[in-house]
C-alpha cells in the first residue's frame, strides 16, 4: 500500500524485455480507468521493468483435467475476485488492475493472490511450488486511487511538482504482488522492527528499519542516496523506480534477480477478459476485427446503418510488447458465439492466442507456432471436419516458406495438419490463408495464396483431405491477378450470394494496386478443369485509388445476418486508415471511412 506526498529527485531506469512476463490484465477495470492507452502503457512498462530483472523459471499452468481458481482482491470493488481455470504460459505472472476511490491517504493497494485447486497431486504441487514464495503462484492484483492527481507519462521528464508519478506507484504495488512486505518469507525475516534478509542487509549495511506494520521500509530509507520504492509514502514531482535495496529484498524472499539483460520472446498475454458477453446478442450478425493501426492492438467492429463499422468492446492487446497483430474470427468451441484468434506480427516469436467470445477467457492458451518464426503470422478459421468447431489455419509472412499448420482447439492447440502449400519449398515470401466451404459439401476448405515476392498464385485444398494428412486440390492452382505481379495476394472465402458455395475474393499484396476480384464458388466447382483466372468474375475493380500501391487486405463476414457475407476491404497504406464494407448489391456505392479517427496506421489496416 502506498500513501501520499513529500517532494523531490529524479531517477530513470532502462526498460528491458522481461525474463518473467508480468502480464497486466484489465478485465476487472470496471470503471474504465485504463481505457486510456497512456495509462496502460505506464503500468505495462512498470510490470515489464520488474519482470526484466527476474530470472526465476516459472512452470506453465495447464489445468487440463484439473480445476483451480485464482482468488484476489477485486481492484475495482475491494471485494473478492475469482478467475477459474486460467492457463498460464511458462515464466508468466498475471496482475489484475483497476481503480476505485481508496480513501484517506492511500493511493495504491496491491498484493499477491491465493488460489484453490482440486485434481491431481502433481497439479496441486505445481501451483504450491511454482513461485518462490508460494502465495504468488500466479500473481495478484493492484488497485489505484481514482482521484489522485496522477502523472501518466513513460518518461519522468514531464512530472509536475504536485503530481504523483503513476509509474512509481505501479512498481511499488507490483513489488507487493511479488511478495515484498506481503509473503511469509518476508515476515520470517523480520526481527526487532528490522528486516534481516542477508541480501538486503548487505546492500544497506545492516538490518533495514521497517515502518509500522512491517510491510515497508521505514519512511525515508535510502541506499547510496537513492530512495527506496518500498517506502510507505510517495514523493510528488519525481520518479522512484525499484532500488538496489528493493531488488535485494526480492532475492531474500526467493526470487532470482538478474541484471535485466536476459530476454524471452515478447509474446505474452495481456488482456484476458476484455469484453465478457459484448456480442452474445448480435442476432446472428458477425463481428470483424481490425488491427495494424497501432502496435500490439486490435478491435472488434460491427456493421451500422450508415454502411460503415462501429467498434464494439474495448481495444484488445492480446500480446505484450509485440509489433502489429493479425486476427480472425471463428467459433472454436462450438457454442454459437464468435471467438477471436490473434497472431503476432513481424518482430515477435510466432504465436497465436484465442479468446472466448462469451467470456474473454483463453481457449487453448498462448501457443508458439511455426517453430517460433519471427517474421509474422497470418491466421484464418473454419470447420474443416464438420464437428461444429472451427479449426485455426496458420501461415508465415514474408521471410517464411509456404508452410501451413492447422490446429484443433480445445484446452490446448493441437496440430492436426502441417504441410508445405503451393508445392514450392524454396519460396520464402510466405503465404496467406483463408477458409470457406468452396464446394458446398458441408465442411470448409483451405485456400492458400502466395506472399510477397511471388506471383499471385492460389491453391484450394479440400478441407477433409487437409486433415487426413494428404492435402488434395479442389481446383487447379491459378494466378489470382496478373501473373507478372510479385506482390503476392490477400484472399478470403465466404458465401457472398447465399447459394451455399464460398466465393473467392482477393486483392493484391502490399506493393500492388487496390484491385479486388471476386470469383463464384459455384462456377469454380462447375468448371473443375478450368483455372479461376480464366473464368468470368463476379466483380473486378479497384476498391480505392488505382494509383495507390499499398495493396488490399480482404476479409468476409456476414455483418448483417442475412446469410450473405459482406467484404471488408482495407488499404495497406501507412496513413489514415481506409476501409470499405462491400456487398454484391452495393459495390460501387459503399463509402470509404476511417474507423480509427485519423490515427495514422502503423502498418496499414489488417482485417480478420
> Does residue 303 lie within any of the structural domains?
yes
- Residue percentage of the chain with pLDDT more than 90: 60
pLDDT digits (tens, 9 = 90+) for 551-590: 999 999 999 999 999 999 999 988 888 999 999 988 878 9
**Do 293 and 234 fall within a single domain?**
no
Considering only CA atoms, give the Rg of the chain.
Answer: 26
Q: What is the CA 299 to chain-centroid distance, rounded?
A: 11
Residue 4: its pLDDT value, please?
37
**Do 94 and 226 fall within a single domain?**
yes
Distance from C-alpha of 436 to C-alpha of 451, rounded to nearest angstrom: 19
Q: Is residue 326 a contact partner of residue 606, using CB atoms and an 8 Å limit?
A: yes
Domain that holds residue 586: 287-607
Higher pLDDT, 552 or 18: 552
**Do 417 and 528 fall within a single domain?**
yes
Distance from C-alpha of 328 to C-alpha of 325, rounded to nearest angstrom: 10
Can you give the CATH number for the domain in which 342 is found?
A: 2.120.10.30
Put residue 36 in one of left, alpha, beta given phi > 0 → left and psi -120 to 50 → alpha: beta
Q: Is residue 527 a contact partner of residue 547, using CB atoms and an 8 Å limit?
A: no
Distance from C-alpha of 506 to C-alpha of 98, rounded to nearest angstrom: 43
pLDDT above 90 for 67: yes
Angle between helix axes 37-51 and 166-177 (nearest 10 degrees) is 50
Spatial strand order in the sheet of 503-508? 489-494, 503-508, 515-519, 539-542
Residue 312: its pLDDT value, please?
85
Distance from C-alpha of 75 to C-alpha of 183, rounded to nearest angstrom: 19
Proportion of the chain in helix, strand, coil states, percent, rounded to 5: 15, 35, 55
Strands 288-291 and 606-607: antiparallel
Q: Is residue 26 a contact partner of residue 256, using CB atoms and an 8 Å limit?
A: no
> Does residue 477 lie within any of the structural domains?
yes
**Do 334 and 247 fall within a single domain?**
no
How far CA 310 is from CA of 146, 304, 417, 581, in Å, comes to 29, 6, 36, 12
> Does residue 66 lie within any of the structural domains?
yes
pLDDT digits (tens, 9 = 90+) for 219-235: 999 998 889 999 999 88
Give the 3-state secondary structure of residue 203: helix
**Do 221 and 329 fall within a single domain?**
no
pLDDT above 90 for 166: yes
And the C-alpha cell for 40? 496502460
pLDDT digits (tens, 9 = 90+) for 86-107: 888 888 899 999 999 998 789 9
- Matching residue, cell 510528488: 236
- Split into its structural domains, the chain has a count of 2
pLDDT digits (tens, 9 = 90+) for 132-152: 865 578 999 999 999 999 999
**Do 232 and 91 fall within a single domain?**
yes
Residue 608: its pLDDT value, please?
94
pLDDT digits (tens, 9 = 90+) for 453-470: 878 899 999 999 999 999
Distance from C-alpha of 415 to C-alpha of 418, rounded to nearest angstrom: 7
> Among 297, 289, 293, 290, which Cα is nearest to 322's?
297
> Among 58, 75, 72, which Cα is nearest to 20's?
58
Q: Picking from 16-20, 239-243, 251-255, 489-493, which range would have the lowest pLDDT averaged per residue?
A: 16-20
**Do 243 and 305 fall within a single domain?**
no
Q: Is residue 79 a contact partner of residue 98, using CB atoms and an 8 Å limit?
A: no
**Do 484 and 530 fall within a single domain?**
yes
Helix runs in 114-243, H state only: 121-129, 166-177, 184-187, 198-204
> Does residue 261 lie within any of the structural domains?
no
Q: What would you measure as the largest C-alpha separation in the chain, in angstroms?
A: 88
**Do 192 and 340 fall within a single domain?**
no
pLDDT digits (tens, 9 = 90+) for 270-285: 444 555 556 555 667 8
**Do 305 and 237 fall within a single domain?**
no
359 CB neighbour count, 10 Å cutoff: 20
C-alpha dihedral sign at 85, 89, 90, 92? negative
Average pLDDT across the chain, whole number: 88
> Does residue 193 lie within any of the structural domains?
yes
pLDDT above 70 for 16: no
- Matching residue, cell 495464396: 449
Amino acid at each position: 500500500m502506498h500513501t501520499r506526498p513529500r517532494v523531490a529527485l529524479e531517477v530513470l531506469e532502462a526498460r528491458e524485455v522481461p525474463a518473467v512476463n508480468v502480464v497486466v490484465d484489465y478485465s476487472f477495470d470496471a470503471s474504465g480507468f485504463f481505457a486510456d492507452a497512456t495509462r496502460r502503457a505506464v503500468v505495462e512498462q512498470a510490470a515489464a521493468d520488474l519482470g526484466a530483472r527476474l530470472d526465476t523459471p516459472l512452470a506453465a499452468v495447464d489445468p487440463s483435467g484439473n480445476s483451480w481458481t485464482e482468488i484476489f482482491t477485486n481492484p475495482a470493488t475491494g471485494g473478492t475476485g475469482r478467475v477459474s481455470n486460467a492457463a498460464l504460459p511458462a515464466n508468466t505472472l498475471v496482475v489484475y488492475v483497476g481503480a476505485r476511490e481508496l480513501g484517506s491517504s492511500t493511493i495504491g493497494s496491491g498484493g499477491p493472490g491465493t488460489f484453490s485447486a482440486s485434481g491431481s497431486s502433481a497439479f496441486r504441487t505445481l501451483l504450491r511450488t511454482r513461485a518462490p514464495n508460494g502465495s504468488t503462484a500466479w500473481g495478484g492484483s493492484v488497485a489505484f486511487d481514482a482521484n489522485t492527481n496522477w502523472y501518466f507519462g513513460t518518461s519522468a521528464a514531464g512530472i509536475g511538482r504536485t503530481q504523483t508519478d503513476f509509474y512509481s506507484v505501479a512498481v511499488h504495488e507490483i513489488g507487493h504482488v511479488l511478495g515484498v512486505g506481503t509473503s511469509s518469507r518476508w515476515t520470517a525475516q523480520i526481527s526487532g522492527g528490522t528486516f534481516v534478509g542477508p541480501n538486503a542487509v548487505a546492500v544497506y549495511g545492516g538490518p533495514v528499519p521497517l515502518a509500522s506494520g512491517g510491510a515497508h521500509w521505514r519512511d525515508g530509507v535510502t541506499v547510496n542516496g537513492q530512495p527506496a520504492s518500498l517506502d510507505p509514502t510517495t514523493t510528488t514531482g519525481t520518479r522512484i523506480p525499484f532500488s538496489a535495496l528493493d531488488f535485494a529484498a526480492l532475492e531474500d524472499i526467493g526470487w532470482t534477480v538478474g541484471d535485466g539483460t536476459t530476454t524471452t520472446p515478447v509474446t505474452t498475454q495481456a488482456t484476458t477478459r476484455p469484453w465478457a458477453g459484448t456480442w452474445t446478442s448480435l442476432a446472428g450478425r458477425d463481428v470483424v476485427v481490425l488491427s495494424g493501426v497501432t502496435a500490439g492492438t486490435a478491435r472488434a467492429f460491427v456493421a451500422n446503418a450508415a454502411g460503415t463499422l462501429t467498434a464494439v468492446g474495448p481495444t484488445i492487446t492480446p500480446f505484450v510488447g509485440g509489433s502489429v497483430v493479425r486476427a480472425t474470427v471463428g467459433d472454436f468451441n462450438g457454442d454459437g458465439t464468435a471467438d477471436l484468434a490473434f497472431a503476432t506480427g513481424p518482430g515477435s516469436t510466432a504465436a497465436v492466442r484465442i479468446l472466448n467470445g462469451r467470456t474473454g477467457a483463453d481457449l487453448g492458451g498462448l501457443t508458439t507456432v511455426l517453430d517460433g518464426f519471427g517474421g509474422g503470422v497470418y491466421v484464418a478459421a473454419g470447420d474443416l471436419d464438420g464437428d461444429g468447431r472451427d479449426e485455426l489455419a496458420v501461415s508465415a509472412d514474408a521471410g517464411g516458406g509456404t508452410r501451413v499448420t492447422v490446429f484443433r482447439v480445445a484446452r490446448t492447440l493441437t496440430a492436426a495438419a502441417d504441410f508445405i502449400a503451393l508445392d514450392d519449398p524454396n519460396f520464402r515470401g510466405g503465404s496467406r490463408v483463408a477458409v470457406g466451404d468452396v464446394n458446398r459439401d458441408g465442411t470448409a476448405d483451405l485456400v492458400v495464396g502466395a506472399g510477397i515476392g511471388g506471383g499471385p498464385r492460389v491453391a484450394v485444398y479440400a478441407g477433409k483431405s487437409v486433415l487426413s494428412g494428404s492435402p488434395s486440390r479442389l481446383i487447379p492452382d491459378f494466378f489470382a491477378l496478373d501473373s507478372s505481379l510479385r506482390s503476392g495476394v490477400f484472399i478470403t472465402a465466404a458465401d457472398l450470394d447465399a447459394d451455399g458455395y464460398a466465393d473467392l475474393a482477393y486483392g493484391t499484396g502490399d506493393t500492388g494496386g487496390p484491385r479486388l476480384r471476386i470469383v463464384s464458388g459455384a462456377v469454380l466447382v462447375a468448371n473443375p478443369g478450368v483455372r479461376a483466372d480464366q473464368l468470368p468474375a463476379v466483380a473486378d475493380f479497384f476498391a480505392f485509388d488505382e494509383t495507390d500501391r499499398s495493396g488490399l487486405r480482404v476479409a468476409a463476414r456476414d455483418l448483417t445476418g442475412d446469410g450473405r457475407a459482406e467484404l471488408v476491404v482495407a488499404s495497406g497504406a501507412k496513413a489514415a486508415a481506409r476501409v470499405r464494407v462491400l456487398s454484391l448489391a452495393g459495390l460501387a456505392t459503399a463509402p470509404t471511412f476511417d474507423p480509427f479517427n485519423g490515427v495514422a496506421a502503423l502498418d496499414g489496416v489488417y482485417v480478420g
